[in-house]
Structure 1
Amino acid sequence: MKDICIIGSGAGASPVAYELSKAGYKVVVLEKGPWLKTEDFTKDELVATRKDLYIPNLEDESHQIVRKNSDGNWSVKNTADTGSDFWNGNVVGGSSNFMSGYFHRMKPQDFKLKSTYGEIEGANITDWPISYDDLEPYYAKVEEVIGVSGKVNQHKYLEPRSTPDFPYAPLATNIVSDLIDKAAGELKISTFGTPRAIISKGKDKRNACYYSNYCGSYGCSSSAKGSARSALLEPALETGNLEIIPFAKVFHLETDGKGKVIRANYYDAEDQKQFIEANLFVIAAQATETSRLLLMSKNKDFPNGLANNNDQVGKNLVFSSGGVGSCNLNYDDFDPDTAQKLKAPGLFVNRACQEWYEIEKEGKKIKGGTIDFLWDHANPVSRTIRAKWDGNDLLYGTALKEKIHGYFTKQRRLKFEIFTDWSPNDDCFVELSDDKFDKWGDPVGKIWTGAISYDKTVGEILAKNTIPILEKMGGKNISYTISNYPSVNLQAGGCRFGIDPETSVLDANCKAHEVENLYVTDGSFMPTGGSTTFTFTIYANAFRVADKILERLKTI
């Protein structure tokens, strides 16, 4: 019998495992994927960008994705047929192994979205049951324990902080960062250094970043990236109180008929049924899969799925709304010294803008978002493949070779990413498929990806406001795309927390309203996602919940 059984091993799971094992409790982590170590990660583009080694075989484990077509009708496609997966790093440490590590805090107003900005037509907006002040100490803790590099710069939407600066100095940046700052400054727009969950100096057994030029989508081969595995699980293992079981696919949580989970049933590496018994259970399998597990854990007391007698499990999924833009910086447009410095590989851009975190629209303040600047990914194969097109025409021979040569030697592509709120709505949820099953015979997740037009409008405003910065820098071929397609690597909701058990799955401490000993600590708890990436907030909240669990255990 274990004290705590945790399902999943990523950003939502690892703080709980770390804190409870350090406190002397016996913890077991069940991870569906393999246990890869730092030395297993390489800069192999085909492996990393395809992620065939890091996600399940889609023939074995797929999803059904439901999207609205241009004609307004819904269509269902299976990812095993399309090849476009909805997985995010099924390995020990989860998708945090492959993140880029943009660690912006949410703002105080993000916790009070409804009361600050009002209703949004077609959206299920609600305030959080906790405030920024409740989470602030844990943001600070993540910066120290996970390791966040950067420098706090004053700007009008800088959130309140209990610490004056980040614990690690900023990572080295390319001269393009200075060009961005200069152009933005001339336009009276504030930019600042992007905080990154990548350490700039060694920490314990982790090495500093060595600027490999391959970061996002790649596992870190120096452990500089603050993945759940290297930053938390590996230190937790040293306590002797943590056990990690890879290739453990949990398919059903069993209850005692009195509102208490007693057993996690799973398939092991040989597809044999096993189980773990524990006093407390924590699910952190990433939003869509956490909802799927609860929905599969039906019994006579929970005929609609565990903790789902109010029919809220799986509802109000959120992703990250926004889009991307880019420009070409042609070396011939700059003096030779600047052009040479622009070519420097490996160095980060690390520039962000929150000038429009709030914007005026039709005489009313509405939520805006965050812009992060970054280089086009270094991947040479995918960049070469994209070069084969000239509009709708296919290039070949000398014309193709000249274009490829020019792309790699005469310019560099600067991108920006926009992060805005994805409004929870009735058409964005996960349910169990009734006709598609995984290799164990369990129904796959059927994910509805409905979005409201309001979110796209906000993204368009931010993109148009960003374009002048690129123009001022001398950027060419400027373009952007704003989409309502969900960001697969940024998913939350499905088990939102709240005060009212009728409209939420979890209470303010992320314990299931209906289940005495069940917590959910991945992004599922989030009613709204803010206008940033989610991982920082998931880490911080999981540390907060770990403290709540420890307080509870001390009273038993």
Structure 2
Amino acid sequence: MTGRTFVQQHAARLRALVDRVLPGDEYPSASEAGALDFLATVLDDRPDWTDRVRAVVDGTDDEGDPDWAWFAELVSAGYYADAGNGGNHGERSWAMVGWQPGPPDGWSVPVPVPTAQPVVVHPSELAERYDAIVVGSGAGGGVAACGLAGSGRRVLVVEAGQWPGTAELNRDHIRNPRSTWGIAPRSGPSDAGNPRTVSDGRTRLLLRPSSPGWHNNAVTAGGGTRVYGAQAWRFGPRDFTMASTYGVPDGSSLADWPFGYDELEPWYERAEWEVGVSGGDTDGPWAGHRGRPFPMPPLPSGAARDRLARAADVLGMSTVHVPLLINSTPYLGRRACEQCGTCVGFACPVDAKNGSQNTMLTRAFATGNASILLDSRVARLRTDGAGRVVGVTIVGSTDGRDWTRDVDAAEVVVAAGAVESARLLLNSRSDREPDGIGNGTDQVGRHLQGHVYGGAMGIFDDVVDDGLGPGPSIATTDFRHGVDGQIGGGILANEFIATPSNTYQYLVGTGLIPRSGIESKHAMRDLARRSMRIMGPIQEVTTADARVRVDPSVTDRHGIPAAWFSGGVHTEDVRARDHTSVRSAEWLRAAGATRVAELHGPVVGTSGGQHQAGTLRMGTDPATSVVDPVGRVWGHDNLRVADGSVHVTNGGVNPVLTIFATAMRTIDAMVAPGG
């Protein structure tokens, strides 16, 4: 039964139910806004939800019933989302809450603007051999493709996703990697044929990409950089020496990096200038030296930053501008940010957000030496009888048909993200390495980490949301280190500008507004722009038991064993998270918040998500690491890794600039004479 058929069969009952969630007043009720169309669309995407909706139809609309609570939030998601999802005809709810997708003063240029076109190779056009194959096209993969193609090598980039246009990735508020409504994002991957599993006690649960524990990172050309928020922090000196600084707590596998901040600083500078970063003149008290300022000044900021800056002064906290991989001025041939309301989770309408797809990959294609194969996956790395990597096996689907192809390569760079890079090495078994390439000491897949986030949300008596994207304009870095009794810490920053559907989810999730009814609707109208979030990641204390393995009993659509997660975060991570939440609440109260909700509670399962790192740890000892200090897999001189999986620790900040920098360092070593 299709979603539309089900909705039509129960239209009268559903109309009454959705209007209990959002009754009519001067603004449309849920049914008047199109809630039934929205439900039909959603159930076509998630037919497994039909029975749950049927339980609501056949049951009671009791606020305490879990199915009713889920249904009320789903209907509200459609009401506050974009009209394309069917539940917000005319997008009247946006006017109600005072939100608009474009800049506060309107667009200065037509949107979307054209973007550079990739050099795409069809599967039938694949060569038998390339000088180098790069697996993945995100931050690390783009750097690898650019550096290798620039050195004269013939390069093939293999990308599991597509290269969607800006319009496809700039509209949908529900199918968005920043949203958690249970529907797979348009930036990929789809729920169909992309399972993972997770250990839950004695059972193993099946996950789909729309599941929170799947640890989604965008599967599209440019990877996560296509739709990220683009915070561009450097790790600081202590972030490279966590074990030496703090010791190794019980149950942890905390370790130092094999090199320090000073070693990486020149590549941080290169990343900032070659990709493009805007920011202020200081990185805060725990930062290392920098040889050169940012290439662009910070983005303009408004009343929200001014309010928080005054509050920080009262609390004695230092503050900095948030560095962003976003153009504050025209840079490298592309436009400046227009400060619209659809940034994090979306492709930039004016192409002012700097990612792999419009910087590194574009330069790689311009050499004439690089091409990209889309909608394809490297199933395994191939080795010869001596154990040397000689190429890859690629699988894909073209014109409705699945295909498999062996392609030879002199060198391979793996940059598929911490989860998929580990999965690839584990699935590349041979007689010489029966447990997977580089896994002779059982290190591949261990030390999975991401970022546990702390924070708080506050309600104010007056409007504090100035509508200026991307949102993060002020941060304190005071608590990255030096907190008594705590190992490491993290930054605090005002959050990205949120879509109305996400604002509803935040307010309901923190208990600041009711879930349904006219009171909920009026609270959204009154409080959406009078609310503010401060959030921040903490540096996790890694554990060897937080890991990725492969599950031979669960395969993807091409028959490749799926990633299998087990383990969890360290207790120190929860403690640091709680400190971050308390500090965030104090900052909001000092800024005038009259009601504040802090983020606490248990952290279930492994960490990962879009900041995933650590599964192919870098080091100097093959017994405790997977790659050497320049990214070579131990025992394989022609196999390198150039993504966040090599991170020993992941900093108390967003890691993408460190991925760019370490990848540049790795590829420079690779193309150097004798490299």
TM-score by length of 2: 0.75
Map Cα deviations across residues 207-244 of structure 1 (whole Å, 9 max, x no partner).
21111111111112222111111121112211111111
Return the alpha-carbon distance in structure 1 between the equivalents of residues 303 and 202 of structure 2: 47
Whether contact under 8 Å (2:455, 2:582) holds in the other structure is: no
1:32-51 correspondence runs (5 A) = 32-38=160-166, 40-48=168-176, 49=179, 50-51=183-184
Shift of 1:402: 2.1
Cα displacement (A) at 1:398: 3.5
Alignment of 1:108-147 (within 5 A): 108-147=237-276
Which residue type is aligned with residue 149 of structure 1?
Answer: S
Matched residue, 2:344: 216
Q: Give the aligned residue type for 2:416.
A: A
Q: Which moved more, 1:465-474 or 1:495-504?
A: 465-474
**Cα distance, 1:156–1:396 mapped onto 2, change above 3 Å:** closer
Q: 1:401 aligns with which of 515, 521, 526?
A: 521
Task: Determine helix, strand or coil for the equivalent of 1:327.
Answer: strand
Tell me, yes or no, if structure 1 residue 348 matches structure 2 residue 348.
no
More strand by share: 1
Matched with 1:310 is 441
Corresponding position of 2:597: 479
Distance in 2, Cα, partners of 1:347 & 1:7:
30
Correspondence for 1:11: 139
The answer to whether the Cα contact below 8 Å between 1:31 and 1:91 also exists between their aligned partners in 2 is: yes
User: Partners of 2:584 and 2:453 in 1: how far apart?
Assistant: 13
Assess, with a 3 A threshold, how the Cα gap between structure 1 residues 387 and 478 changes in structure 2: closer, same or farther.
closer
Q: What is the DSSP-based 3-state SS (H/G/I as helix, E as strand, rest coil) of the residue aligned with 2:610? A: coil
The aligned counterpart of 1:240 is 368
Residues 142, 361 of structure 2: 8 Å contact kept: yes
Letter in 2 for 1:383: T
Cα distance in 1, alignment partners of residues 580 and 513 from structure 2:
32
Distance 1:17 1:433 in 2: 31
Report what 1:335 is aligned to. Answer: none
Answer whether contact 1:499 1:507 (CA < 8 A) is retained: yes
1:58 and 2:177 are equivalent in the alignment: no
Is 2:630 aligned against 1:501?
A: no
Counterparts in 2 of 1:398 and 1:58: CA distance versus 1, 3 Å = closer
| Structure 1 residues 470 and 394: alpha-carbon distance in aligned structure 2, compared to 1, 3 A threshold | closer
CA distance in 1, matches of 2:247, 2:517: 57
In 2, Cα distance between equivalents of 1:113 and 1:356: 15
Among residues 102, 105, 117, which one is paired with 2:231 in the alignment? 102
Whichever structure has more helix as a proportion of its residues is 2
Q: Which residue of 2 aligns with 1:370?
A: 491
The answer to whether 1:451 aligns with 2:580 is no
Matched to 1:208, the amino acid is A
In the TM superposition, what are the counterparts of 1:172-191 in structure 2 within 5 Å?
A: 172-191=300-319
TM-superposed deviation, 1:414: 1.2
Do structure 1's residue 25 and structure 2's residue 185 form an aligned pair? Answer: no
Q: Distance in 1 between matches of 2:350 and 2:406?
A: 35
| 1:126/1:458 CA distance change after superposition, 3 Å | same
Aligned pair count? Answer: 535
1:59 partner letter: A
Change in Cα spacing, 1:98 to 1:82, as seen in structure 2 (3 Å) is closer
Task: Give the distance between the partners of 1:233 and 1:221, measured in 2 at CA.
Answer: 19
Deviation track 1:383-434 (CA, whole Å, cap 9, x = no partner) reads 34677799599765533432232234xx432111122122221320011113
Asked if the contact 1:113/1:127 (under 8 Å) is kept, the reply is yes
Residues 150, 196 of structure 1: 8 Å contact kept: yes
The equivalences for 1:266-285 within 5 A come to 266-270=394-398, 271-285=402-416
Q: Secondary structure at the match of 1:189?
A: coil
Superposition deviation, residue 487 in structure 1 = 4.4
Q: Deviations 1:493-535 (Å, cap 9, x if unpaired)?
A: 1111111111111111110112121001111111111111111
Distance (whole Å) between structure 2 residues aligned to residue 25 and residue 38 of structure 1: 30
Q: State the AA in 2 paired with 1:7.
A: V
Provide closer, same or farther for how the CA distance between residues 534 and 264 of structure 1 changes in structure 2, counting only shifts above 3 A.
Answer: same
Equivalent AA in structure 1 for residue 503 of structure 2: R
Alpha carbons of structure 1 residues 129 and 389: separation in structure 2 relative to 1, 3 Å: closer
Tell me what 2:334 maps to.
206
CA contact (8 A) 1:25 1:241 kept: yes
Q: Is the contact between residue 322 and residue 456 of structure 1 (CA under 8 Å) also seen in structure 2?
A: no
The one-letter amino acid paired with 1:217 is G
Q: Tell me which residue corresponds to 1:412.
A: 530
Question: Structure 1 length as normaliser, TM-score?
Answer: 0.91
Question: Is the contact between residue 483 and residue 489 of structure 2 (CA under 8 Å) also seen in structure 1?
Answer: no
Residues 387 and 420 (structure 1), Cα distance of their counterparts in 2 relative to 1, 3 Å cut: closer
1:98-138 per-residue CA deviation (whole Å, 9 max, x = no partner) reads 11111111111111111111111110011111111111011
- CA 1:204–1:347 in 2, change beyond 3 Å: closer, same or farther? closer
Counterpart contact for 2:455–2:585, Cα < 8 Å? no
Distance 1:236 1:90 in 2: 20
Question: Which among 199, 218, 221 is matched to residue 92 of structure 1?
Answer: 221
Deviations 1:348-371 (A, max 9, x none): 341111112223435xx7322211
User: Partner of 1:528 in structure 2?
Assistant: 649
- Using the TM superposition, give the Cα deviation of residue 22 of structure 1 relative to its aligned residue in structure 2, in angstroms: 1.9
CA 1:394–1:209 in structure 2 vs 1: closer, same or farther (change >3 Å)? closer
